[in-house]
Amino acid sequence: MAILQIKNLHVSVDTEQGSKEILKGVDLTIRSGETHAIMGPNGSGKSTLAYTIAGHPKYTVTEGEILLDGENVLEMSVDERARAGLFLAMQYPVEIPGVSVSNFLRTAKTAITGEAPAIRPWIGEVREAMSNLKMDPGFTERNVNEGFSGGEKKRHEILQLELLKPHFAILDETDSGLDVDALRVVSEGVNRAKTAKGFGVLLITHYTRILNYIKPDFVHVFVAGKIAEEGGPELAERLEAEGYDRYVKA
């Protein structure tokens, strides 16, 4: 049983007008096996939370802490966080020219587990995961994210999630830019990985659509850098009906 705790988290970014506070005291606890949906309007700081957990250098934590099984995540480098079991599925994954998907996946797996995977079982594992995500086998010969469509990028992120088997998966607007078929395939991938590994999920989304496929245990409404309301799955249904206006106007 792993536990990820976020306590009174304040985060700033540097802008041309000086430092700007984006997160203004976030408290959140996620345990293995739990799925938490973070919902909120654009600009509320949802993605900032995701990238801060992963350790993006653009964000400065000014107050508060993030603990993974009691260990101080904020003292870890980006790669140490990943090796400790945190995985961020990115909204805008970057291109790495000249680096093939197969080389990238093997390098990442080796880094996470500390040893190179045995070739034959590894190739089998990659093939099976790709087949589940309805990805063409030739995909592994392409360069990482180079010329990928929006759907291919998201599948590639979830492929990594399935193969790297983290303790916590943070999904940053994984549903954006996907049609319903692709959304179903990607969601099934998340559910499959979760069943296999039993990890905790932090699902960041603007829309309730993905929650038809990935069922949340908890829903947190994010407004202006803070959690404005929390509840069970029924809160998502209410948001579906009423939208965010109630929070934004308040």
Half-sphere exposure of 246 (CA within 13 A, CB side): 10
Site for another protein contains 76 (CB under 8 A): no
Min dist CB 88 to another protein, Å, is 6
Min dist CB 221 to another protein, Å, is 27
For residue 72, the Cα-to-chain-centroid distance in whole angstroms is 19
Residue 169, judged by CB atoms within 10 A of its CB (0-12, 13-18, 19+), counts as buried
Size of the site for another protein (CB under 8 A): 29
Nearer residue to another protein within complex by CB, 57 or 147: 57
Site for another protein contains 75 (CB under 8 A): no
Nearer residue to another protein within complex by CB, 85 or 216: 85
Residue 141 Rama label (left phi>0; alpha psi -120 to 50; beta): alpha
Site for another protein contains 78 (CB under 8 A): yes
Q: Which of residues 83-142 bind another protein (CB under 8 A)?
A: 83, 87-88, 90, 93-99, 103-104, 107-108, 111-112
Q: Residues with Cβ < 8 Å from 243, sequence gap 6 or more?
A: none
Nearer residue to another protein within complex by CB, 97 or 147: 97
Min dist CB 102 to another protein, Å, is 13
Dist. CA 29–CA 217, nearest whole Å: 12
CA nearest neighbour of 37 among 230, 168, 198: 230
Min dist CB 141 to another protein, Å, is 12
Dist. CA 132–CA 245, nearest whole Å: 39
Whole-Å CA distances, 226 to 24, 30, 56, 70: 6, 17, 20, 23
Q: Which stretch binds another protein (CB under 8 A): 72-80, 173-181, 213-221, 232-240?
A: 72-80
Q: What is the DSSP letter of 97?
A: T
- Single out the residue of 71, 79, 141, 242 in contact with another protein (rule: CB under 8 A): 79
Nearer residue to another protein within complex by CB, 31 or 56: 56
**Interacting residues with another protein (CB under 8 A):** 54-57, 77-79, 81-83, 87-88, 90, 93-99, 103-104, 107-108, 111-112, 143, 160, 164
